Amino acid sequence: MAESGDVPHHGPMRRWVHARQDDEDLSFFFEIDHDGYFRRVVMLEGPERLAVIACSLDEVEAAFRNDTINEYGETYGVPLSWSAASPDWDYTDPEPLSETEFEEAWADARQARATGSRRDLD
């Protein structure tokens, strides 16, 4: 399957944020479009910052069309919701990120998930 998430493809009005869910020791990096939907999601877990999710909405849509969503989910994970306003997302005070900061987190998490290592990303 082609990895459209490997090459940034930003439309107008994209923004990037970092948020935490302290009670479960989760850290999130989101790329959000102008409609309030996540285009790409990175979720790191624990003090080791293990990559749990590193997925792209475009890739997930393609995986559904190609009937490869199970394989995609096993490799990159899939969030419960793509809407930033969803109650499924319980995080505290998102902070703005630069595009560069997001891309660094994205690249590291993608590599960890693709290799199956879920390695420490510090």
Condensed to tens digits (0 to 9), the pLDDT of residues 34-75 reads 998 999 999 999 999 999 999 999 999 999 999 999 999 999
Residues 65-94: what's their mean pLDDT? Answer: 88
Nearest CA-CA partner of 41 in 31, 51, 27, 26: 31
Q: Taking a C-beta distance cutoff of 8 angstroms, is the pair 20, 27 a contact?
A: yes
pLDDT of residue 117: 66
**Cα–Cα distance, 81 to 85 (Å, whole number):** 9
pTM over 0.85: no
Residue 88 has pLDDT above 70, yes or no: yes
How many residues are listed for the chain in this entry?
122
